[in-house]
Structures are given as C-alpha cells and as structure tokens.
C-alpha cells in the first residue's frame, strides 16, 4: 500500500451538515497532511477518491458560497 492510500484510510472524512440522515447522495471530504483535499462518494468509501489541491478546494468552496454553480 502506498503512502497516499494509507493516508486516505487513516484520515477523518466529513460530510456536509446539509446531508440527510438517510445516507443519501453525499460526498465526503478529507483534509490531507499535504494540504490537499480528498473527495469521495460516501456510499463507496473504498472507491475512487478525487484529489485536489488546497487552493483548488478553496476556489470551489468560494464559488459555492457565491452561488456560481
């Protein structure tokens, strides 16, 4: 297992506070030690992870707050 895979399995993943309690369509985000963010489907925690830089994540979140999407 490589270092990044180990970090994904040992990190704390969080869901949006807007996610329902029924386990519906949710994404989870993890802050990694490198400053990157991991994004995954909460229904498939061992599946693929989208890796973005901290800057990319900040731009994305700012866009959401401005209702750009």
pLDDT band at 8 (very low <50, low <70, confident <90, very high): confident
Quote the mean pLDDT of the chain.
85
Rounded to whole angstroms, the Cα distance separating 17 from 3 reads 30
Q: Is the pLDDT of residue 4 over 70?
A: no
pLDDT value of position 63: 95
pLDDT tens for 12-43 read 999 877 776 666 678 899 999 889 999 998 88
| DSSP annotation string for the chain | --HHHHHHHHSPPEE-TTS-TT--S-EEEEE-TTS-EEEEETT-TTS--EEE-HHHHHHHHHHHHTT--
């Amino acid at each position: 297992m490589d270092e990044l895979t180990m970090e994904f399995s040992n990190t704390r993943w969080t869901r949006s506070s807007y996610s329902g309690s029924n386990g519906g369509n949710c994404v989870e985000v993890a802050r990694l030690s490198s400053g990157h963010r991991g994004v995954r489907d909460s229904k498939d925690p061992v599946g693929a992870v989208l890796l973005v830089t901290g800057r990319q994540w900040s731009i994305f979140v700012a866009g959401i707050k401005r209702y750009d999407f």
